[in-house]
Homo-oligomer: A and B are copies of this chain.
Amino acid sequence: MEISARNQIRGRVVGVRTGEIMGEVEVEIEAATITAAITASSVQRLGLKNGDQVTVIIKSTEVLIGK
């Protein structure tokens, strides 16, 4: 499946934490570490753990620019 989101960057999971409802996944890409706040159940459904190769997906309408 190809996805409409303009920003799709390959990276490696370097941190996973889950609370009751939400979880936090850190993904190392070349330039930076991206943090994703997704539901704890999605963390579990995808079985996310350190070292996983994943794709960070960000819709362009969600991106701000600071200058």
Taking Cβ atoms with an 8 Å cutoff, the residues of A that contact B are 1-9, 11, 17-25, 27, 29-32, 34-43, 45-48, 52-67
Contact of A7 among B3, B17, B34, B52 (CB under 8 A): B34
Contact B63 A57 (CB under 8 A): yes
A65 CB contact (under 8 Å) in B18, B20, B30, B55: B55
Task: Determine the chain B residues whose CB is within 8 A of the CB of A46 once the complex forms.
Answer: 2, 4, 65, 67
Whether A67 contacts B2 in the complex (CB less than 8 A), given A22-B21, A30-B30, comes out as yes
Bound-state CA distance A58–B58 (Å) is 8
* Separation of A21 and B23 alpha carbons in the complex (Å): 6
Decide if A35 touches B7 in the complex (CB within 8 Å): yes
